Structure formats: structure tokens, C-alpha cells
Structure 1
Amino acid sequence: MLKKTFAALALGSMIFAGQAAAADYVIDREGQHAFVNFKISHMGFSWLYGTFKDFEGSFSFDAEQPEASQVEVTLKTASLDSNHAERDKHLRSDDFLNVAKHPTATFKSTSVKSTGEGTADITGDLTLNGVTKPVVIAAKFIGEGDDPWGGYRAGFEGTTTLKLKDFDIKMDLGPASQTVDLIISVEGVRK
């Protein structure tokens, strides 16, 4: 048991290197330092990419207790942008995100599990289109350190794949477009 505990602490230290105690961060989306992007197959012919421009969040992590790390993000669904105004209007409609009824989507972590050097699975509850489901985000530690403005930053990226029907999105875009990939890149400033 002691060996397993030591191994878990060592893995956590690799993921969150350099941090001696829990640290809290605010996600910095100013100046394009954080993104919540998505991609979905367009009829199996190409990829359609987009982003959510308005979101906020925070995270904390502790090298000695990575399982105690936490993430919370809230985004405004109407901020969806796929670089095509008519398509964005349709994606915001009740065929997809129904932003009039569900103006926000949220993610709140419930657990963090080390998966290797600098990687972890972040499990949490995602509420999207009025439906809450557990999802797992495969996360990778990018780096941390002092910034030129006197702050301290840490950055991560994560990915997950969502089934549209799991979140009550009934519009059928064909067999190649049943899932959407989320690509999350965050840089946080330590509080």
C-alpha cells in the first residue's frame, strides 16, 4: 500500500512539477491565452471548426495531492463562432444549442487521475443544452513559470469527444457527424 501511495504522489509531482502546495489560478482569456474550440465532421468530407469566445473559469492543483485538483469553467453558448454567420445562427437555435433557453454551459471537475508523465484524466460534470453528463477530459500539462508582468502562470490543454445525442441535440447531421471534439487550451494566472 505504501508503494502505491508513493507511486501516485510521484506521478502527481511529474504532472504538476514545481508546485509545492495547492495553487489557485484564474483562466486568462484576455489576449487569446485560452480557448474552447470544437471540430465536427462536415458530412465526412472535411472538418468544421469553431470556438466559444466568451467564457471564464478557474483551476487549482497541488503536486503533493493531484487528486485534489479542481477545474470549473462557464461559457456563454451564444458566443459560438464558426466563422459563418448563418451557420452560427442555426447552431445557436433549438436544433442544436438552444441558447435562448440554455445561455450557459458549465464544466465542474469531480476527480483528477494521473495517467502518465505530465498527463491526467479530468472527470467532471458537463452541463450543455440543459443536460448534465459526466465527461472525461484527457489533459496535458504544458508549462508554468513567471510572466513578464509579475504574475505566475500555468498552462494545460485537454480534449474530449461528445456524442451530440447525449446532450439532447437531435439534429441528425449524418453518420460521420454524430460526435464533436472539444479542444481546450487554458493558461491560468495564479491568484
Structure 2
Amino acid sequence: MSRIGKKPVELPSGVTATVSGQTIEVKGPKGTRSFTATDDVTLAVNDNVVSVDPRGSSKRARQQWGMSRTMVANLVTGVTQGFRKELEIQGVGYRAQMQGNTLRLNLGLSHDVDFVAPEGVTVSAPKQTEIVVEGADEQQVGQVAAEIRAWRVPEPYKGKGIRYKGEFIFRKEGKKK
């Protein structure tokens, strides 16, 4: 039995969910999100509670049970609070600044990197060494943060680069004489 799948997802006030077939649509103050579950699970909305149940006891049905429940919980969190990733920039001369909807990164390359934020995701730079990525879709927020980080991944000798806030970089010792 799935411990995660057994827990119902409660809908806070101001959030509505509708199920049509295998698709659930959640509306809240930060927008509308939807998820289409596989045929291995059943979705039901009763009294501001969304429950996910497996159809049968096959291994695939049990796998999809917990995953589907987590996806529904992420939809509810996304339309109420949203998701947020924070990045830090370390390195001499490395900085970020916003120019309209474009994030301009100076990362020691021969050119500046211009990153245009996709629809549904908000990118901001409160300081020159901080980047904040926010949005209602957890997967999209994580993907945008990973794409920004990929321009200059932290290197292990000096720790220079773009890292997630609180990320630990395993440092290596340099050459010895």
C-alpha cells in the first residue's frame, strides 16, 4: 500500500478542483493548472478533498497511485503559494541584472548571456549576485533554474559559478609543488 497515495489532498479556501475523465483542473489565486492521470488510477473530488485510488493491485497501478497524488498536491501548492528557486552567483566580476523580461548575466565569458524568461515563470535579480525564479509549475521553475545554472556550473577548485542557495560544493585541493 502506498503511504503517500492514501493521504487525501485537501483544497484550501479559494481553490476549486474539477475532474473530467482522467484530467483534474485546479483553479486558485495564482492561476489554473491541470494534470492528466494514467488509466491506472481514479481521481475523485469530495467536500474540498481530492482522493486518488488505484484501479487494481498491479505494480504499475501502485506506482502511479503515489505519483498521481503527489502531482495533484503540487498543483494545489502551485496555485496557492507557487514555487520558488533561489540561485547565488560567486566569482569576481560575475553578476546578473534584469532588463525588462530578460536576465543579463556577466559570467566571465567573451560575451554577456541574455536569458529570456518563458511564459508562466518570473525571474528577478534583487541583488547582483542573486537570482530568484518563481512560478506556479514546479517542473518549469526547476527547469528554468537549471538552465540558468548551466551557463556557469560551480567548479570544484575555487567554487566560482552559479549555485542553488544553500548548495554545498565539494572543494578539491589544487596542485602541490
TM-score (norm 2): 0.25
Relative contact order higher in (CA < 8 Å, ≥ 6 apart): 1
TM-score (norm 1): 0.24
From the CA coordinates, give the structure whose radius of gyration is larger.
2
